[in-house]
Copies of this chain bind each other. A is one copy, B any other.
Amino acid sequence: MNEDARIARWTAGWTASKHVILGPGDDCALVSPPPRGHVAVLKTDSVFENVHFSRRDPARSVGRKALARAVSDFAASGALPIACLVAVGTPGGRKPDPYTDHVMRGLSSAAHSWNIGLAGGETTRSKALCLTVSLYGWVKQNRHVSRSGAAPGDSLFVTGKLGGSRKGHHLKFTPRLAEGQWLAEQHIPSAMMDLSDGLGKDLPRLAAASNVSFLLRAQTLPRRAGCSVAQAVNDGEDYELLFAVPFKNCQRLLEDWPFKTKLTWIGGIIPRRHKPIARGVKLRGYDQFESF
């Protein structure tokens, strides 16, 4: 198995993108600059064997997940993903690793569904399979939503349902790309993020970034079937959007929301001098490996 042949097969699975001016095969890739009035958006995200998945998981779903995690971050920023770079650590040396091949196929078919082009990549020998996807795209200036704009009095909302993701959702979730872009375009949220580590870890992060505290109505959280409140708060890997909405925008949000995706009011932002209020549920601290 010649490595050039393997790379050729991996790259052949990708749909050509009009935004990739010079793609795989050169020292660097050239991609379209953001349109006028837009800024560039970047994100890198890793998925490692024995950390984020095991070989018992369907390979194509693992490849899809590797890209979907970064796409979910773009959703939370209200940004449009355009092209990606894929760094693969894979076992086997010259011997082909069919699992990796299927992972790559899942990745490219997911990229096709989100109109994301392949700009370039890198392969390395590695004991465990590891994938690092870096995503490039753009967002309108002043339409980007960060984690840091929430203010006391804002309401908190989440999309979809929470908890129990390990039963399968973590490999099948749909990043809330259209929802995030709509929210940003409508200028509705004051702060937004995607729930990758669970509300119990991510809500304190949003609050810390915004220098505020929060009240969480844990008992009425939207839960996946068979999940307890504690699971909805702490399981993680929901990949739903969490966002704060100033009072003046709440009515517009609820009246104009054009998606079938469930939308739930889950609490509010309070001044920083108060401790977080989340009755009936323990929020796990956050001390794990994470993105920065």
Binding site for B on A (CB under 8 A): 2-4, 7, 10-11, 21-22, 24-34, 38-46, 48, 51-52, 73-74, 76-77, 79, 83, 85-87, 89, 94, 119-128, 130, 132, 134, 136, 138-139, 144, 146-148, 192-194, 209, 286-292
Question: In the assembly, what is the distance between CA of A290 and CA of B33, in Å?
Answer: 27
A21's contact among B39, B121, B148, by CB below 8 Å, is which? Answer: B39
Give bound CA distance, A87 to B47, whole Å. 10
A-B contact pairs, 21 of them (CB 8 A): A10-B292, A27-B76, A28-B77, A28-B79, A30-B40, A31-B39, A31-B42, A34-B34, A40-B136, A42-B119, A43-B120, A44-B86, A45-B87, A48-B125, A87-B134, A94-B287, A120-B291, A121-B291, A122-B292, A124-B289, A127-B128
Q: Knowing A123-B291, A134-B85, A289-B124, say if A29 contacts B3 (CB, 8 Å).
A: no
Task: Kindly state the separation between the CA atoms of A55 and B226 in the bound complex, as whole angstroms.
Answer: 48
Whether B147 lies near A26 (C-beta < 8 A) is: yes
Q: Which of A77, A286, A290, A292 has the most CB of B within 10 A?
A: A292
Q: Is the CB of B44 within 8 A of A132?
A: yes
B136 x A130 contact (CB < 8 A) = no
Nearest CB of chain B from residue A24's CB, rounded to whole Å: 4
**Do B34 and A33 touch (CB < 8 A)?**
yes
Closest to A41 in B: B28
- Residue pair B44, A134 in contact (C-beta under 8 Å): yes
From the candidates B86, B123, B193, B286, name the one contacting A27 in the complex (CB within 8 A).
Answer: B193
Which of B28, B44, B136, B194 is close to A120, meaning CB atoms less than 8 Å apart? B44
Q: How many Å lie between the Cα of A46 and that of B88 in the bound state?
A: 9
- Nearest B residue to A24, CB-CB: B292
Closest partner residue, chain B, to A83 (CB atom): B42
Task: Choose from B2, B74, B122, B194 the contact partner of A132 (Cβ within 8 Å).
Answer: B122
Cβ B126 vs Cβ A28 within 8 A = no
* Contact between chains at A85 and B28 (CB < 8 Å): no
A3 vs B24: C-alpha distance in the bound complex, in angstroms? 35
Q: How far is the CA of A287 from the CA of B122 in the complex (A)?
A: 14
List residues of chain B with CB within 8 A of the CB of A209.
Answer: 25-26
Contact A7 B39 (CB under 8 A): no
Q: Which chain B residues border A132 with CB–CB below 8 Å?
A: 44, 46, 87, 122, 132, 134
Contacts of A33 in B (CB 8 A): 33-34, 38-40, 138
CA gap between A4 and B290 in the complex, in Å: 8
**Pairwise interchain contact A287-B42, C-beta atoms closer than 8 A:** no
Known: A4-B286, A123-B290, A128-B127. A42 touches B29 (CB 8 A): yes
**Residue among A30, A79, A128 with most chain B CB within 10 A:** A30
Q: Which residue of B lies closest to A148 (CB)?
A: B26
Q: Which residues of B contact A42 (CB under 8 A)?
A: 28-29, 31, 83, 85, 119-120, 134, 136
